[in-house]
Amino acid sequence: MDKIDADRPYYLAFNCFNKIGAAALRRLEKYFPDLASAFRADSHDLLRAGLNDKLSTEFIAWRKSFCLEQAEEDLCREGISFTTWHEDSYPRYLKEISSPPPVLYFKGRLTGDNAKRLAVVGSRRHSAYGEKIIQTLIPELAEQGIEIVSGLAIGIDSLAHRSTLDTGGKTIAFLGSGLMEDMIYPYQNRRLAKDIIQSGGALVSEFSPRTPPYKQNFPRRNRLIAGLAQATLVVEAGRRSGSLITARYALEENREVLAVPGNIFSALSIGTNWLIKSGAKTITGLDDILEIFGVDTVAATRNKDATGAPELTDRSPAEKIIYAILQEAHDRSERISADEIGRKSQLDMATINSTLSILEIEGLAENDGYGYDLK
C-alpha cells in the first residue's frame, strides 16, 4: 500500500475534527512521516509539528471518543465517497485555488477535468425575469454538454439545477453542510438533491458528513462553486447577495465572471449591474456564454414557425405587445427606443426594460445603442 492510500482513512479522521484546517494539516503532513503517526502523536510532537497547546489538548481529548471504523461505516451506509487533495480523483480546478479543502466528500459522480463547467448563482428571492433567463439559457447550455455548478439554494440555484435536469444535462451542487441525508439543506430541496445524483451529477461538500448547515459555512463553500467552474454567471443579485461573494472568488481565482443586466429599478439588479460596471462580461444571449467555452455554434432560436416568426401563444401579454411594436418598426426598417415603446404600449418602463432584456437574451431582438430591432 502506498502512502496516499495509507493516509486516506486519517484524512477522514482529521476532517471529522473540524478545528484542524488545511494550514494545520499541511504542517502535520510536513512534520510526520504519515498521517497515522500524526493522528496518534502525543502533545509534545503535536506542538513541535506546529499545533498550539490549546488545539493539541482539544484534539487528544476528542480522539479518545472518535471511532474511525464507525465514520467509515457511516460513509458506506449513506453512499458517500471522498477524495483527498493528493489523489488523482481530486478535481484539478479545485487543486489550483488558493485554499483547496484537504477532503472532498461527494454523492454521485464527479466527472473528469475535461468537462466544461459553468457556475450559475443568483438571488434566493428571484423575479419572473430571473426565472425566464434560467429557462432560456440553461437548456441550451446543457444541450451543448456544459455542466452547471451551483449551491442547491432556494431561488436561482434551484432553478438552474432543475432546468439542467429537465434537459438531460449534468449538474453539481456544493453544500454548506455535510452529506448525511438528514443534514442536506435546504430540506425543501432534498428531492432535488436525489434527482441530481440519479441523473449522473453529484452533491459535493468539504464538511464532514454530520456537519449541520451553519450560517458561516455558506460563504466558505462559494469559493468551491467558483473554483470548480471555468466561469461564473450571476443572474440576479442584490446589494449584499452571497452571489457577489462567489463572483469575487471567481475573480481571485482568475475565472471569468459573467452577469446578466437587469432592470435599473429593481433591487435584484443592483449586484449584477454593479458587476457589469466593474468589468464583468455582459450576457445578453447564449452565444456570449458559448464563446467562452470555445463552442462554435449559432444560438438556436426556439419556438419559431416556418417563416421564422416566433410562436407567441405562451408569451406574457407584455411580450406580445412589445414584440408587435418591434415588428411594426422592423417592417418599416426602423429602430425604436424604449421610450417610444412606452408611449405606444402604455406599459411601465420597468416592464418594458425587463421584457426587452428577455427578448435580447432569447436572440429575438437587439439593441445597437440607437434603438431596438428584431433580429
Q: Could you tell me the CATH number of the domain that includes residue 324? A: 1.10.10.10
For residue 21, tell me if it sits in a domain.
yes
- Please check whether residues 285 and 330 belong to one and the same domain: no
- Please check whether residues 168 and 61 belong to one and the same domain: no
pLDDT score at 311: 60
- Please check whether residues 152 and 279 belong to one and the same domain: yes
For residue 169, tell me if it sits in a domain.
yes
- Please check whether residues 283 and 335 belong to one and the same domain: no
Taking the C-alpha atoms of residue 157 and residue 87, their distance in angstroms, rounded to an integer, is 29
The rounded Cα 155 to chain-centroid distance in angstroms is 12
- Please check whether residues 276 and 229 belong to one and the same domain: yes
- Please check whether residues 280 and 332 belong to one and the same domain: no
For residue 82, tell me if it sits in a domain.
no
For residue 101, tell me if it sits in a domain.
no
- Please check whether residues 157 and 191 belong to one and the same domain: yes
- Please check whether residues 269 and 363 belong to one and the same domain: no
* Of 130, 129, 162, the residue nearest 148 (C-alpha): 162
CATH of the domain at 179: 3.40.50.450
**Angle at Cα 369 formed by Cα 364 and Cα 373, nearest 5°?**
30
pLDDT-flagged residues of the chain (< 70): 297-314
For residue 147, tell me if it sits in a domain.
yes
**Angle at Cα 117 formed by Cα 114 and Cα 123, nearest 5°?**
165
Residue 360 has phi, psi (to 5 degrees) of: -65, -45
Say what the pTM is.
Answer: 0.83
- Please check whether residues 165 and 258 belong to one and the same domain: yes
Domain boundaries, position 4: 1-66
Choose the final residue of a domain: 51, 66, 81. Answer: 66
Q: CB–CB of 151/174 below 8 Å?
A: yes
Report the number of distinct structural domains present in the chain.
3
- Please check whether residues 347 and 230 belong to one and the same domain: no
According to the 3-state scheme, what is the secondary structure of 79-105?
Answer: CCEEEECCCCCCCHHHHCCCCCCCEEE
- Please check whether residues 259 and 334 belong to one and the same domain: no
For residue 112, tell me if it sits in a domain.
no
- Please check whether residues 365 and 280 belong to one and the same domain: no
* Of 139, 142, 129, the residue nearest 303 (C-alpha): 139
pLDDT score at 302: 43
Q: CB–CB of 209/178 below 8 Å?
A: yes
Only one residue has cell 486519517, namely 10
pLDDT score at 245: 96
For residue 139, give the C-alpha cell: 437548456
For residue 103, tell me if it sits in a domain.
no
For residue 39, tell me if it sits in a domain.
yes
